[in-house]
Every structure is written in C-alpha cells, then in structure tokens.
Amino acid sequence: MSSHLQQEGPLQGVRVVEFGSLLAGPFCGQLLADFGAEVIKCEPPRQGDPMREWGQEKPHGKSLWWPIVARNKKSITVDLRTAEGQEVARRLIAQSDVVVENFRPGTMERWGLGYEQLAEENPGLVMVRVSGFGQTGPYSKRPGYGSIGEAMGGLRYVVGDPQTPPSRVGISLGDSLAGTFAALGAVMALRARDRHGRGQVVDSAIYEAVLAMMESLLPEYELGGHVRERTGSILPNIAPSNVYQTSDGGLLLIAANQDTVFRRLATAMGMAELGSDPRFATHTARGRNQVELDEMISKWSAQYDTEGLMAVLVEHDVPVGRVYRAPDMLADEHFAAREAIVRLGHPEFGEFPMQNVVPRLSMTPGRVKWTGPQLGEHTDEVLTDVLGLATSDIDQLRASGVI
C-alpha cells in the first residue's frame, strides 16, 4: 500500500467552502475534511461560529466541541452581509468544488450567492444545502433546528420511558444525521460530475434525515394500524434484548434474540432447558413472554459482578456489551487497539482526545490532522494563495471590517 495514498485521503484535491454555523452544515464539512478535502470555513469577523462557545464544559472558557467539529478545516473571516464580502465569497467559490451552507432557504440568494448565480461562473459546482425543512415546500422558510427535525421526523416520540414525555437521545442526532446525508450527497454529486461534467444541488433536510432512520414506522400505521410508542430499554416483542444490572451496579446490554443465540444464553445461565421450553424456544414465543423472560435474566444477572458476568457471556458466545461512559471508552483495550480515539496537540488544552474517522478505508483512509482552528487563522493564506490578493488588498478588507 502506498504511504503517499494513505497521507492524501480519497477527497484530496477537492476544495470545499463551508458557510453556516453550529452543527448540521459544519458536521458535513467535518466528514469531508476527515477524508482529505480542503475545507475552508468562512466565519463572521470578530465573533465567528457560535459553536466556538458551545458545550457543557468549557475549560479556559473555550468549547470542547469546536476542536472536533472544526477539525482539519481552515478558518477565514468574511462578512457576507457586505458587498465586498459577497465578492470575496464568489471568487472563492469560483475556485472550489463544493459549497456547504445551512442558512434558512433564500438567504444565499439574497446575498447574490444562489446556485444559479454561482453555477454560471462555476458549472461544476456542487452546492450542499442543509436546512430544517428543505429548500421547497410550505415549511421551507421556517427556522429549523435539529430538535425540531427530530420531533417532526418521528424520533422524539419513540425515545424514552413510556411513562414520561418524549426524550432527547442525549446528542444532537438530527443535525448530525442531516450533515451525514449531506456529505454522502456531496460525494455522490461529485461522482456524477466526474461522468457528466456538471454540478448540482444537494438538498438535505433535517426532518427527512431523521425520517430516513425510522424503519417501518409508516407502514406499521397505514397497513397495520399500529402507532409505535416509547418502550424504554426493550425492543418490543424481540427478546431478550435489554439492559440487565449486576451485583456491583453495572449495566450490561445482552442481545440474545435469535433462537440459536438464546440457547447459548440459556446454557450460560445453567438453564439449558429454557432453549426448548415452549414459552421461549422460538422468536415469537419469547416476544409473547418478554416480561417473564426479562425477569428471569435480571434475577440471574444480579448474582454476578460485572466482570464475572461479562466473562460468562463471552465464554458462551452471547452478544454482550457494557453500557459505556467516557471513562470506560478511554480505558477499553479494543478502542485502543483500533485507535478509535485519537489524541492531538491543542494550543490551550494540551493533549486532546476525540473520536477517530469513520468509516475506515483500507487504501486511502481519512485521518485527523489538526484540531479546530483559531478564528481567521487562515484568512491571509487563503486570500493570497487561492484568490491571489495582494497584501495591500487584504489590509484594506481588514481595515473596513469585511474580514
């Protein structure tokens, strides 16, 4: 395998201009940058992307989220609300392959940066547009956050305990899903451009990205009259697949819902006869008797400490996993062996751990090269190298507040 190919990444040579802020659009940019694209993030002068300030914990008053979502990117400042800033953006886009934006639909058009205008000068341009409700339809002009997309896409209603109101899943999943589909769309549009020579618009709506994950929820209702409800930790009628507590307070997720796997679990429990018991011998029977089966497994699991139960289940080839928190991930030998977590130097935090690039490519893998940049760190470099501006031109733009 060529080390040169390994260093490049599969999107080497693709230039992306990223507008927008917070998460959905920038997550798309993060994925493209992970695999070698040159991602130039355009931020408002002075304050930058609000994501620079987001996060529950902020050592030194700085976000711990920003170094991840902006990793591998270059940062320039440009005020798109000024004619001069719009001209800088147009010139930069003319030299680029992809534009990513997540403003409310119509915003880019008001700035003279709509797809039709940009494609006149750059016919091969791929414009990735991430929004709450998409670029068309009666809701398109509404502001749309990830939480709204999760609610309207069907996710929020099915998350949580049935005795409580719908829950958040714990992360900004709607935004990340829309960003993931946006990145996939960008790569597909670039592939189409390779064949046909023309770019196109990629329209990624948050609520549709969530809806795409909702399995058979729609035909279950229309064809079967069933509305999915919140079910907590179980998979309804699919058993056993639940979280079980151990004697030392640990939580293990045991998934033994196939007939052969359940028989292995029954043997591990010292109750091999359950594998042929009419109440539990088949998938349908276990689903019908799910509550009784869960009670039996819970009583058994409580006799072991976490490590002991893990050992028994692994020995019997039963799918099992601890319910991990951050310290568990950082201490896990499998995470370490596969380098699922990487550590990079950060100017303020020192050694900075973060999740590695996914998925893994055997010949041209992605990699994390640097953490999120300082505001405007690459402004002079990009305006000089890409646009060919003279130092005096850059100084004038800076003096007038455009950059």
Give the whole-angstrom CA distance, residue 140 versus residue 146: 14
Give the whole-angstrom CA distance, residue 125 versus residue 127: 6
Give the whole-angstrom CA distance, residue 8 versus residue 23: 26
Task: Write out the DSSP string of 89-104.
Answer: HHHHHHT-SEEEE-SP
Query: Is 377 in contact with 363 (CB distance < 8 Å)?
Result: no
What is the widest separation between alpha-carbon atoms in the chain?
84
104-130 burial, b at 16+ Cβ within 10 Å, e below that, comes to ebebbeebebebeebbeebebbbbbbb
Beta strands in 189-317 (DSSP E): 201-205, 241-245, 251-255
Distance of CA 173 to the CA centre of its chain: 7
Tell me 235's DSSP state.
B
Q: Which residues pair with 244 in a beta bridge?
A: 252
Catalytic site includes residue 194: no
Give the whole-angstrom CA distance, residue 36 versus residue 57: 30
Give the whole-angstrom CA distance, residue 366 versus residue 278: 50
For residue 72 the two structure tokens come to 């591998």
Non-local CB neighbours of 198 within 8 Å, separated by 6+ positions: 123, 124, 192
**Strands across the sheet containing 73-77:** 73-77, 38-43, 15-18, 98-101, 126-131, 201-205
What phi-psi label fits residue 160: left (phi over 0), alpha (psi between -120 and 50 degrees) or beta? left
Choose the catalytic residue: 49, 175, 203, 294: 175
Residues with a known catalytic role: 175
